[in-house]
Amino acid sequence: MNLKSNIYSLVSIAPPKAAATLAIFILSALAADATPITIPNYSFETPSSQVATSTNFNILPGWVFNVKGGSQFGTATISLNYANPGTSTGRFYATINNDWPNVTDTITSAASLGTITPLTEYTLTVAIGNENKSDSSLYGAPGNVAFSLLANGVVFATETVPNGTVPNGSFEDFTLSYSTPASASIIGDDLTLQLATLPEQGTAYQPAFDNIRLDATQIDPPAVVPEPSTWSLLLSGALTLGWLMRRRRA
């Protein structure tokens, strides 16, 4: 018998008013399942061999690069540059040579991932890598990076990962969570996501991004705090329920 069936059985032997209150409180505590949102080319496996360019901003299907100053960008091979694949997946990862001061370079999903819905928790998870080089060497560290959720192309939630956070020679997961309210200006807007390498500080960096995942979970509206009389009814029902269960076992 599953959890909901057990709850229904218990509620059925409680007094009617207490049963109704118990059902509302107990069932509202059951967590909703997360729904994965499909991200095209989420681990940068297309094309099927590594590529690099400084001009073709649509080099990776599903993504658009915005890179300034003629810096090189594209994909690289995980096994050649990482001692430990960590939370990466597949053969390749996306990378940008961030070697221009005061410049933020980005990789943005090329198409809408759906419209933003109310009362939804969006969870974006990104594997960020630090190549197997000395962090003080040229392109040896990822630098400061960020990843964001966008509504009609405008950032509404972002997470920053400071340089030095990711272990050398490995990938590590980082997560951004954002819960939409019942009503807001972003509801109904197109949802996209963006990966960013933030301005360099003293040296040229080469961040790595891989295994991008996005989940959506429906959440309940904010609960109304019960009045004292409701809490009294709930306590009375729970005590009666416990007494009936012990009597049934006897």
CATH number for the domain harbouring residue 82: 2.60.120.260
Q: Is 177 left (phi over 0), alpha (psi -120 to 50) or beta?
A: beta
Q: Taking 60 as the threshold, does the pLDDT of residue 7 lie above it? A: no
Minimum mean pLDDT range among 21-30, 57-66, 139-148: 21-30
State the pTM of this model: 0.77
Q: Which of 100, 126, 134 is nearest to 195 (CA)?
A: 126
User: What total of structural domains would you count in the chain?
Assistant: 1
Q: Which residue is associated with the tokens 């980005």? A: 106
In tens, the pLDDT along 50-83 reads 999 999 999 999 999 999 988 999 999 999 999 9
**28 within some domain:** no
Residue 17 lies in a domain: no
Q: Give the structural domain span for 195.
A: 35-218
pLDDT at residue 1 tops 50: no
Residue 20 resides in a domain: no
Flag whether 245 is in a domain: no
- The mean pLDDT of the chain is 86
